[in-house]
């Protein structure tokens, strides 16, 4: 493995507070938003559908906060970057969330998003862009994400090494054929888990 790219929501960032803030903005209690998210997951819909279901707008003013990083996120980025891996962050995110990530001065080589690239997961073009940015061959690039449909399956189809981190609502609720990727429960397992690829 030469390069490791990370999804953001529920991979590096715990979105609990983010969605609770959306709930407040939409005038509903947080558990209404959790229920709406669950409905979109079970129907295989885009998470933006939550806002349609609850009669509101996406609201790009809600961004993450540094406290939202999962405790294992920054140590993992530092460890991989320090070990010489090319490290990138690229998820299905707005330009606002990409700017937020850039502002965190993370130990990474690339910060990008679907919004700035103009291609979104699960499209093959998104993962081709990940590979192009890394300068490595597809099989030398790992993509770490929480979702089967947007991360694991399409990354593997694009020839990358898919790593699913099992946390957050999607990873717990999405069921499907075993995609053949690596599975981890914590980012503390990287990079050792690559030995099983
Ligand atoms: Mg995610």
- Note the pLDDT tens digit of each residue in 127-152: 999 999 999 999 999 999 999 999 99
- Residues 96 and 48 sit within 8 Å (Cβ to Cβ): no
Query: Of 80, 28, 60, whose CA–CA distance to 190 is shortest?
Result: 80
- The verdict on pTM exceeding 0.75 is yes
* Centroid of ligand 1 to alpha carbon of 118 (angstroms): 18
* Centroid of ligand 1 to alpha carbon of 124 (angstroms): 17
Average pLDDT over residues 110-124: 97
pLDDT computed for residue 129 by the predictor? 98
What are the tens digits of pLDDT across the range 144-184? 999 999 999 999 999 999 999 999 999 998 876 665 679 99
Rounded distance between C-alpha atoms, residue 17 and residue 27, angstroms: 15
Q: What is the mean pLDDT of the chain?
A: 94
* Centroid of ligand 1 to alpha carbon of 191 (angstroms): 19
- Residues 162 and 152 sit within 8 Å (Cβ to Cβ): yes
CA angle 117, 19, 97 (to 5 degrees): 25
pLDDT computed for residue 179 by the predictor? 58
Query: Of 10, 154, 98, whose CA–CA distance to 181 is shortest?
Result: 154
* Centroid of ligand 1 to alpha carbon of 180 (angstroms): 18
With 70 as the cut, is the pLDDT of residue 52 above it?
yes
* Centroid of ligand 1 to alpha carbon of 113 (angstroms): 12
With 80 as the cut, is the pLDDT of residue 6 above it?
yes
Retrieve residue 177's tokens. Answer: 């054929």
With 80 as the cut, is the pLDDT of residue 23 above it?
yes
pLDDT computed for residue 175 by the predictor? 75
Lowest mean pLDDT among 26-35, 55-64, 188-197: 55-64
* Centroid of ligand 1 to alpha carbon of 182 (angstroms): 16
Q: b vs e for 89-105, b when ≥16 Cβ sit within 10 Å of the residue's Cβ?
A: bbbbbbebbbebbeebe
* Centroid of ligand 1 to alpha carbon of 196 (angstroms): 22
Helix axes 16-26, 30-43, angle to 10 degrees: 110
């Amino acid at each position: 493995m030469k390069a490791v790219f990370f999804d953001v929501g529920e991979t590096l960032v715990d979105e609990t507070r983010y969605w609770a803030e959306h709930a407040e903005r939409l005038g509903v209690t947080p558990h209404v938003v959790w229920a709406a998210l669950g409905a979109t997951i079970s129907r295989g819909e885009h998470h933006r559908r939550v806002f349609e279901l609850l009669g509101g707008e996406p609201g790009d003013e809600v961004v993450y906060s540094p406290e939202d990083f999962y405790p294992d996120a920054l140590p993992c980025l530092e460890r991989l970057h320090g070990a010489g891996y090319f490290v990138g962050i690229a998820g299905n995110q707005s330009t606002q969330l990409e700017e937020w990530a850039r502002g965190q001065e993370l130990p990474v080589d690339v910060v990008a998003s679907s919004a700035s690239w103009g291609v979104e997961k699960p499209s093959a073009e998104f993962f081709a862009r990940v590979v192009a940015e890394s300068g490595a061959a597809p099989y030398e690039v790992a993509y770490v994400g929480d979702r089967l449909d947007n991360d694991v399956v399409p990354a593997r189809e694009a020839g990358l090494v898919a790593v699913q981190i099992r946390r957050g609502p999607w990873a717990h609720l999405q069921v499907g054929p075993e995609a053949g990727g690596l599975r981890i429960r914590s980012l503390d397992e990287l990079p050792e888990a690559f030995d099983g690829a």
